[in-house]
Structure 1
Amino acid sequence: MTTQIKHHLTDALLMGYAAGTLPEGFSLVVATHVSLCDDCRARLAEYEALGGEVMMDAGEAELTDGSLEATLALIAGMPAAAPVRKAARTAGIFPAPLRDYVGGDKEAVRWRRVGGGVRQMVLKTDGASTVRLLHIPAGVAVPDHGHSGTELTLVLQGAFRDETARFGVGDIEVANDDLEHTPVAEPGEDCICLAATDAPLRFNGLLPRIAQRFVGI
């Protein structure tokens, strides 16, 4: 699948995942993409190896009483990072990291209508980010919007286009507050995406802004 993937993760996202500093929702999207993409999986391995070398070269620090207990408590309170596994060939479209959250493939998704034929399922995470599956019928556009923070969108089925490029299966779009776009699912096959945000979207139309209060996008 690597030869088909044209849009990859940024170095900052891969480093954040390797360091365990990403919100859980972002970690899930990163792990799902990396399980599909040989290129990003190799880059992630390099960052993880680099992090190990840095730890090995770090000087010794004197510990105070209770340091071990405090560290274990911090670890216990951290969100679990979705493990990276290379996607096995299956009849489904969800890689293993996402299947673990959904409880199966797309037939296990509990879709909820959000308007215009678009459906979604919000996945349960730590609350520092919001992650959802989106089902966009072929030929349908998501309302024009901007971003108050970062949005990661990974294509799992079909494809969509916006003002920047075409995104097919395995491609990931990293959108920040400088991008306003109108994603449109390509004709022929419904588009299913995994999307994570750390702030609400900024819809330009009145009706999408009203609907936003109820669907939480």
Structure 2
Amino acid sequence: MNITHHISDELLFDYANGALEEGWSIAVATHLALCPSCRKRLATMEAAGGMALEAIEIEPANASTEEFSWEAMRARIDNVAPAAPVPARPKHSTGRAASLPEPLRSYIGGDVDAVKWKPLGLGAYHYPIKTSDQDISVRLLRIPAGKPVPEHTHGGRELTLVLKGSFSDISGRFGPGDFEETDESVDHQPVADPGEDCICLAVTDAPLKFKSRIVRMIQPLLGI
């Protein structure tokens, strides 16, 4: 697998610190399962964070520094709710190589052939994935080979991870394992490359903003 588009340093840093909601974490963790380069970057970040913590000098508390003591810091940390990790899901075995890596495969309940696709129109399909997030949408998308997604921009962040096939847009070509991060500044029209349907994991925190008036009219029915 020749991966050329990787997770940004900022997003990977947030993942390393447990600062991402479940939906974003699924996309990042699934890419990490496919990408040795990003796993190495993550390990470097985690090692650097550990070294930084070890380098902190803790002075004994006294009356004037009690507020900033290690005990006070521990108390503040204990009172902060930790970021929710991606829940473990039951693993399924079919006795053959999986095309969907973990943790995504367990969220689906199997491999690609287990996906119960829902039509979006024009030959496209999607499969919503349930998470604990209230405002983040996670779904699989299946775009027919050679067909475009309607031109759109975004109301927030969008993460797209290619699982099978490929697509091209203004940012380049994205094949299996490639990771695209977009936001309100990006206006694009991804087109699935010929030869094979493109299956992607897409995570968003706001509805897409389509250019087509007709698509905007039916958007509430599609839930995208």
Q: TM over 0.5, yes or no? A: yes
CA separation of 1:10 and 1:66: change in aligned 2, threshold 3 A: closer
Equivalences for 1:33-52 in 2 at 5 Å?
Answer: 33-52=31-50
Question: Quick check: which has more Rg, 1 or 2?
Answer: 2
Q: Would you say the 8 A contact 2:164–2:175 is kept in 1?
A: yes
Corresponding residue for 1:81? 86
Q: What does the per-residue CA deviation read over 1:164-210, in whole Å, with 9 as the maximum and x for residues that have no partner? A: 20100011111121111111111111110001112221101012112
Secondary structure of the structure 1 residue equivalent to 2:70: coil
Task: Determine if the alignment matches structure 1 residue 180 to structure 2 residue 178.
Answer: no
Unaligned runs of 5+ in 2: 59-68, 89-94
Task: Determine if the alignment matches structure 1 residue 135 to structure 2 residue 148.
Answer: no
Secondary structure of the structure 1 residue equivalent to 2:103: helix
CA distance in 2, matches of 1:211, 1:56: 55
CA distance in 2, matches of 1:68, 1:190: 47
CA distance in 2, matches of 1:63, 1:40: 36
CA distance in 1, matches of 2:149, 2:74: 55
CA distance in 2, matches of 1:216, 1:68: 38
CA separation of 1:68 and 1:181: change in aligned 2, threshold 3 A: closer
Q: Would you say the 8 A contact 1:134–1:194 is kept in 2?
A: yes
Runs of 4+ aligned residues of structure 1 deviating over 6 Å after TM superposition are: 64-69
Corresponding residue for 1:86? none
Secondary structure of the structure 1 residue equivalent to 2:100: coil
Secondary structure of the structure 1 residue equivalent to 2:150: coil
Q: What does the per-residue CA deviation read over 1:99-142, in whole Å, with 9 as the maximum and x for residues that have no partner? A: 12111111221211111111111111122421110011111111
Structure 1 residues 195-204 or 55-64, which shifts more?
55-64
How many residue pairs match? The answer is 206
**Paired-residue identity, %:** 48
CA distance in 2, matches of 1:100, 1:116: 29
CA separation of 1:164 and 1:206: change in aligned 2, threshold 3 A: same
Supply the RMSD in Å over aligned alpha carbons.
Answer: 2.2
CA distance in 1, matches of 2:136, 2:51: 30
CA separation of 1:99 and 1:183: change in aligned 2, threshold 3 A: same
Unaligned runs of 5+ in 1: 84-88
1:63 shift after superposition: 3.8
1:28 shift after superposition: 0.4
* Equivalent residue in structure 2 for 1:118, among 124, 140, 146: 124
Secondary structure of the structure 1 residue equivalent to 2:39: helix
1:67 shift after superposition: 6.3
CA distance in 1, matches of 2:11, 2:194: 31
**TM-score, length basis structure 2:** 0.84
CA distance in 1, matches of 2:187, 2:87: 29
Corresponding residue for 1:171? 178
Secondary structure of the structure 2 residue equivalent to 1:20: coil
